[in-house]
């Protein structure tokens, strides 16, 4: 079931529809996230068909069947179909996400500049599309039987050129199902008539139908204008049936003119037999352009749109990784700013687990137990060590001050050691009497207790803390022979150790 949360984000099964990036007469395209278990997530493109299509049982049935067939197509020049989701009143096509622009928009952007797509670049892109179409025409099922897939709707709107310079054809599986609803009850034919072959208008569809449509796309890419334009549908159909006789380059590139006009032949038998044959003809006529150069051209021509979309996708992926709800395209923030520009600047990273993310996306609740990552943990330890260091310095300062006071009263007294000062701030061991054996020098607390022990034990000496003994004031340790002057020495750590023979 598709459930929107408070910010308008929709969840369709294991998919999250995040941000609208395109809108057409048949569907709306969103950037989405495939959310799996164990923190798995992937950015995808989700095409959500409009309600008029999703409510037609015949269309839904054919759409699902055709989309499953389209998932059998695997080729670099085809946008892969990953999944089809049919829920109550909703229909979704899940595809791989490609950062790029449609050929239709690239043509408009170039026209706005007063430019046309370079001929060699146009030929290279259409050749790639033809290779993708051939892969679809040759697709087979699990038993090796031909699937007989024909796109039926090859047009600049269904050609996506990525920033990687690869031209891809998309929307396999929709066209055949759409053809069933394009004929309305009153008999009117709807769709992209300008790209339909004459036989397609009569209801006859073969693989050469896609070759014809590719020829129309090539003609328009070379000229920078539409091939068939009519005042109404009837006028447009008439021009399609009459065919095209105008060479796209006007003799500038005779080879391209010949290839284009052959693909646009009214007679299917006079066209290229396969899409691959036409692709190879283009590659032989014009040296293919490197995909890196095409990618640079796309990036420069559509820089503003691509930059904005890349930022939005990055934002979606960042919020998804942080475990926060991903904003919808029309979900404003409190300040009225577009939610797509909202960026989480702090907060511990949370593992993206399906239950956690979907719960947060559905309810809008993003609170979770604090989890320190390694960097934060190191910072916390540094803070603790720093605080202890300051405390130690303060204690040492106090001890040195006290030591100078003791020195004024007794010239033979040594300043207390750091360990002695620290030991003075914690409960010490019971104060030893003169007859108690001295502990090893490695125990500074015990040594400090012995150092401050009174010469004559009192009834309460066993429980008196070392700090109380220190506050009692200076005392005199009896000497026993010349080696007992003084009766103690200091070890390498600055701890005062009494000589056994002087006790």
**What is the tally of helices (H) and strands (E) in the chain?**
17, 12
**Residue whose token pair is 């890196």:** 292
* Residue 164: closest CA among 237, 100, 91, 84: 100
Adjacency order of strands within the sheet including 159-162: 100-102, 159-162, 167-169
How many of the other CB atoms lie within 10 Å of CB of 228? 20
Burial of 8 (0-12, 13-18, 19+ CB in 10 A): middle
Beta bridge partners of 496: 490
User: 3-class DSSP state for residue 4?
Assistant: strand
> What single string gives the DSSP state of each residue in 164-186?
TS-EEE--TTTHHHHHHHHB-TT
284 is catalytic: no
| Catalytic choice (19, 56, 58, 153) | 153
Phi-psi region of 473 (alpha: psi -120 to 50; beta: other; left: phi over 0): left
Displacement of CA 211 from its chain's centroid (Å): 37
- Residues 41 and 131: beta-carbon distance below 8 Å: no
User: 3-class DSSP state for residue 448?
Assistant: helix
- Residues 500 and 436: beta-carbon distance below 8 Å: no
Residues labelled as active-site residues: 153
């Amino acid at each position: 079931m598709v459930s929107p949360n408070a910010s308008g984000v929709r969840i369709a099964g294991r998919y999250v529809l995040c941000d609208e990036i395109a809108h057409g007469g048949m569907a709306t395209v969103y950037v989405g996230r495939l959310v799996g278990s164990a923190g798995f997530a992937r950015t995808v493109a989700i095409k959500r068909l409009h309600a008029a299509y999703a409510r037609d049982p015949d269309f839904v049935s054919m759409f699902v069947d055709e989309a499953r067939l389209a998932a059998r197509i695997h080729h670099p020049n085809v946008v892969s179909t990953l999944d089809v989701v049919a829920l109550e009143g909703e229909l979704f096509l899940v595809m791989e996400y490609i950062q790029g622009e449609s050929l239709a928009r690239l043509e408009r952007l170039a026209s706005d500049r007063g430019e046309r797509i370079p001929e060699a670049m146009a030929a290279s892109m259409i050749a790639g599309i033809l290779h993708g179409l051939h892969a679809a025409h040759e697709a087979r099922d699990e038993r090796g039987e031909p699937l007989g897939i024909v796109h039926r709707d090859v047009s600049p709107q269904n050609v996506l050129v990525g920033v990687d310079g690869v031209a891809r054809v998309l929307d396999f599986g929709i066209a055949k199902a759409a053809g069933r609803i394009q004929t309305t009850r009153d008999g009117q034919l709807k769709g992209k008539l300008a790209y339909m072959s004459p036989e397609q208008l009569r209801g006859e569809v073969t693989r050469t139908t896609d070759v014809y449509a590719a020829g129309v796309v090539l003609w328009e890419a070379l000229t920078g204008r539409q091939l068939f334009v009519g005042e109404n549908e009837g006028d447009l159909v008439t021009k399609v049936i009459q065919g095209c006789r105008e060479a796209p380059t006007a003799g500038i590139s005779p080879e391209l003119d010949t290839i284009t006009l052959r693909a646009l032949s009214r007679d299917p038998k006079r066209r290229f037999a396969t899409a691959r044959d036409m692709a190879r003809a283009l590659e032989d006529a014009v040296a293919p352009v490197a995909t890196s150069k095409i990618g640079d051209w796309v990036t420069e021509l559509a820089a503003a749109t691509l930059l904005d979309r890349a930022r939005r996708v990055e934002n979606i992926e960042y919020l998804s990784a942080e475990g926060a709800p991903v904003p919808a395209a029309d979900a404003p923030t409190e300040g009225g700013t577009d939610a797509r520009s909202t960026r989480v600047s702090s907060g511990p990273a949370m593992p993206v687990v399906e239950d956690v993310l979907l719960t947060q996306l559905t309810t809008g609740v993003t609170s979770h137990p604090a989890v320190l990552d390694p960097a934060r943990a190191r910072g916390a330890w540094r803070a603790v060590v720093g605080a202890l260091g300051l405390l130690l310095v303060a204690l040492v300062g106090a001890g040195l001050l006290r030591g100078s006071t003791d020195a004024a009263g007794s010239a033979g007294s040594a300043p207390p050691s750091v360990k002695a000062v620290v030991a003075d701030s914690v409960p010490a061991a019971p104060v030893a009497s003169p007859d108690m054996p001295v502990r090893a020098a490695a125990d500074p607390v015990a040594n400090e207790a012995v150092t401050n022990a009174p010469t004559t034990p009192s009834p309460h000496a066993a429980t008196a803390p070392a700090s109380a003994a220190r506050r009692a004031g200076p005392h005199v340790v009896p000497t026993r022979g010349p080696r007992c002057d003084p009766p103690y020495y200091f070890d390498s750590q600055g701890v005062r150790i009494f000589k056994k023979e002087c006790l």
